Every structure is written in structure tokens, then in C-alpha cells.
Structure 1
Amino acid sequence: MADLSDPKSALHHYLQTTREDLIWKLDGLSEREARLPRTATGNNLLGVLKHCLNVEAGYFGPTFGRQFPTPEELVPMRAYDEDPQADWYAREDETKDELIDLYRRVGAFADETINQLPLDAPGRVPWWGPKGDVTLQRIIVHVISDVARHAGHADIMREQHDGAIGWQRENTNIPDDQDWPAYVAKLTKLADRFG
């Protein structure tokens, strides 16, 4: 159990929890279901995970003078010149299980950076230009914010796919006996008062 009274342990705990929540949103999905675009801009569950693993590898790697041990598994920076969405979908030669495994390995790599450095350790985000000087604390907060936002996207995409809802595997934070059609009707009626 993380010591949530310690700032570094608390930040690390929330990052780890959010990672696992994102991975959970892919449970039970076929390759097609995981890859299928769910929004008008092509967002898909597996693409969200791939984006997040590349975010973590970058922010906890080069920012602090480290390199992921198998960089060829990540989307190289030059790939964005040809396709700005290069990390938002799985290529044909990548599988859901492989990307989940890669995200776990990237997580372990990021955890090493977090464990080895103090919160005030300096770093430099190369792609932020002149504003790239940071601390480990700022990067942990930045990455938690990024991954949590995308986990929220995954929540909605998964709910739209098959109705699977919930915040975490162990604690959905959703009432068990909710009459969802009645609840939606109630909210629709309320919204219609402003129409």
C-alpha cells in the first residue's frame, strides 16, 4: 500500500492506478473492437493506450537523460512528420496484447525514473523548446493529467461500445441498482426545460 501522506508516493500511486484503469478498459475486447474508431476524429481504445505509453516513455525517458531499452517499439519522433496521429492507432503488425505488455514495460521504466530521482530533480523536455526546464514533480503531475484525461475518453468509448462502466476494476463508483433509462429520461426532461 502506498504511503499517501508522502507526496512522491501519492503521485506515483495515482499514476499507477490510472494506468491500470486504462488497461482495464480493454479487457475482453477483440482486436477489431479495441481498434474500431469510436469518435468522428478516429479515437479508439487501443490508440488511446498506445498514445499514453508513448507519452510516458518520452516524459520519463529523454526528459531525464534516459532511454527506453527497446526504443524501436515506440513511435519515433520523425514518424509525426509523416503522420501527426502516428501514436493514436495500432499498426497492422501490432496486437492489443503486445501493446498492453509494452505499456506495462514502459510503466516499469517510468517507475524506475520516479523511484531513482527526488521530486525536485531537474529535467528538460526537448519538444517544449525554451520552456522545457522541468522537475520530476511537474512531469509526474503532467503525465497523471494526460493519462487521466485519456482514461476518461476510454471510459466513454467503452460505455458506448458495450455499456461497461466504472471507475476502477475494484470500485466502479457506480450505483448497483440504478435504473439508467429512467435516470437518462430525468436528465433529458431537465435539459429540455432549457430548450
Structure 2
Amino acid sequence: MVTHVSAEVRGDERGALLSFLAEQRGGIRRAVLGLTEEQAASRPSASELSLAGLVKHAAEVEQYWVARAKGEPPAIQRDQSNWHETFQLVGDETVASQLAYGEEVAAETEKFLRSVPSLDDTFALPDQPWFPPKGRVSMRWLALHLIRETARHAGHADIVRESLDGKTAFELVALAGK
């Protein structure tokens, strides 16, 4: 299992942002290490979240934001009637297929953020009531938002995994290193 994207630490801002994002993605990926499909899909805590769902959701959300920054439609269209499907595997989706999708998304994010002329370049926020009207944000904001979103879900994954079998994030880092 790949545990990080090639976000090379170069001492520059883009490299640092991509490295922090890769680190948080790794936390989500490691949370499913050694689990069966059934274990990964289970919801052992008070939350409705499963590890499989978190793996899927993190990749879909990252892809959505990068597509938005590029001015493209997201690869997977969601509306109010099927938003919950971002948090659960459906059809023939598996943990392995979602991990692979996440790796593709991560590579695209890195390629995109390394290619934009400036992290100060902007794009429009969605027209949603929780965003400022006609708001624009920078590519730097995008990277920081992805780090924040991914870190939040990596924390969720820690709790779900520990509720499932008692393994902590530190134990999973050690297991992944073997």
C-alpha cells in the first residue's frame, strides 16, 4: 500500500503544503490497514462514519475542490438526494478501489498545485450560504482547505479505528512501516 504521494519537501511553500496534505491523507489510508471490507464498512462508534466511507469521502472532496479551482465540473456529481453516498461504498466500490482513486486524486492535486503560476491566483467559491457572496479564494487557500478537511477526517478515522479494534494512529504508523 502506498502511504504518501511524492510531495517532495523542497523547503518551498508548495512543497510544504503538499507534504502536510500527504501526511494527513496517510492518516486516513493507514486507518484501514489490515482490515476486511466488512470491518472497514462498519460503524463502531456513536458516529455514522465508517473508515471505508472516510477514505471515499476524502478523495471525492479533494477532487471536487481541485476541479473547482480548475474551472471544471467535479468527476462525480452529487446533489442533495445522494450526498450521503460520499460516506459509504456503493455498488462494486471497495476499499482498495477507493484507495487507488485517492492516489489518482492526490497525484492530480500535486500536479495542479505545482503548475499554477502563483498560489495567489484565485477561483470562485461555490454559491452556498456558508461562503461569502461572490467570494474568491487563492490557490493557497485551496491547499490549506484541503489540509484542514483531510486532517479533520483523519481525526475521525483515528477514533473509528480505535473504536473498532483498539489500534491507535501511532500503532498504525509502525505497522505501515513494516
TM-score range, shorter chain: 0.7 to 0.9
> Corresponding residue for 2:95?
96
Unaligned runs of 5+ in 2: 1-7
CA contact under 8 A between 1:61 and 1:110: conserved in structure 2? no
Count residues in correspondence. Answer: 164
> Corresponding residue for 1:2?
9
Report runs of 4+ in structure 1 exceeding 3 Å deviation.
none
Unaligned runs of 5+ in 1: 173-195
Which moved further from structure 2: 131-140 or 93-102?
A: 131-140
CA contact under 8 A between 2:49 and 2:87: conserved in structure 1? yes
Question: How far 1:131 sits from its partner (Å)?
Answer: 4.7
Bigger radius of gyration among the two: 1
Q: Which amino acid aligns with 1:2?
A: V
Give the fraction of aligned pairs with identical amino acids, expressed as a percent.
Answer: 27
Question: How far 1:51 sits from its partner (Å)?
Answer: 1.0
Q: Which amino acid aligns with 2:9?
A: A
Scaled by the length of structure 1, the TM-score of the pair is 0.76
Question: Aligned pair in 2 of structure 1 residues 170, 121: CA closer, same or farther (>3 Å)?
Answer: farther
User: Pick from 139, 142, 150: which aligns with 1:136?
Assistant: 139
> Corresponding residue for 1:17?
23
What root-mean-square deviation, in Å, do the aligned CA atoms of Structure 1 and Structure 2 show?
2.2
Question: How far 1:147 sits from its partner (Å)?
Answer: 0.4
Question: How far 1:21 sits from its partner (Å)?
Answer: 1.9
Residues 18-77 of structure 1: per-residue CA shift (max 9 Å, x gap): 112211111111111011123334110011111111110011112222456xx2xx3x12
Question: For 2:88, what is the secondary structure of its paired residue?
Answer: coil
The structure, 1 or 2, with the larger RCO (C-alpha pairs under 8 Å, 6+ apart) is 2
Give yes or no for the alignment of 1:151 onto 2:154: yes
Distance 2:175 2:37 in 1: 26
Q: Which amino acid aligns with 2:109?
A: A
Distance 1:95 1:127 in 2: 32
